A = this chain, B = another copy of it.
Amino acid sequence: MFNGDNVSVADNQQERLDAEWIVGFVDGEGCFHVSINKMSEMSIGWQVLPEFRVVQHQRDEQILLRLKEYFGFGNVVVNHGDRKEFRVRGLDNLNKLIKFFEKYPLKTSKHKNFELFSKILNLMNNNEHLTMEGLQKIANLASKMNRQVVRHLESSETIRRNPTIVG
């Protein structure tokens, strides 16, 4: 029997998510990622692209939209094939996201990735990604984070020798 005052989660997908639920879901499904891309039109020649993602099969797009609604930023876009992602890019939004996870800490080892990600964001907030020295610091932090992707970025020489590295 429908009762508007006692509507279930299944009936009302717009109910605000609980912060601890989000932390649990991100401990399972979230990804903090930093790619360093060759961009010859940028003065330093490289673009640092930090992003946060939660990927789900498209059958669960509603939960990605609820994440977007909760945070008030980010986008839900196609990941690949039948998978969608809630994606957050941009320093302003990512700084807000970091505040959220500082208030509600991750409980799995993903917390370590988050801390590295947070350090990289701090460097970017100080515009250090626009210097070769800062870029090197970022590459070193990212190499600890995205182990499969950028573990071979250990020196700025390597960055220069591998212009196609995309995270």
Which residues from chain A sit less than 8 Å from chain B, CB to CB?
8-10, 17-29, 56-57, 59-60, 63, 66, 105, 107-109, 111
Are B60 and A108 neighbours in the complex by a CB distance under 8 Å? yes
Are A63 and B107 neighbours in the complex by a CB distance under 8 Å? yes
Q: Considering the complex, give the chain B residue whose CB is closest to the CB of A27.
A: B25
Kindly state the separation between the CA atoms of A27 and B63 in the bound complex, as whole angstroms.
10
Report B-chain residues with C-beta under 8 Å of the C-beta of A25.
Answer: 24-25, 27-28
CB distance from A100 to the nearest CB of B (A): 14
A-B contact pairs, 11 of them (CB 8 A): A9-B107, A10-B111, A19-B20, A21-B23, A21-B24, A26-B28, A27-B63, A28-B28, A29-B29, A57-B109, A59-B109
Kindly state the separation between the CA atoms of A24 and B60 in the bound complex, as whole angstroms.
13
Kindly state the separation between the CA atoms of A23 and B19 in the bound complex, as whole angstroms.
11
Are B20 and A18 neighbours in the complex by a CB distance under 8 Å? yes
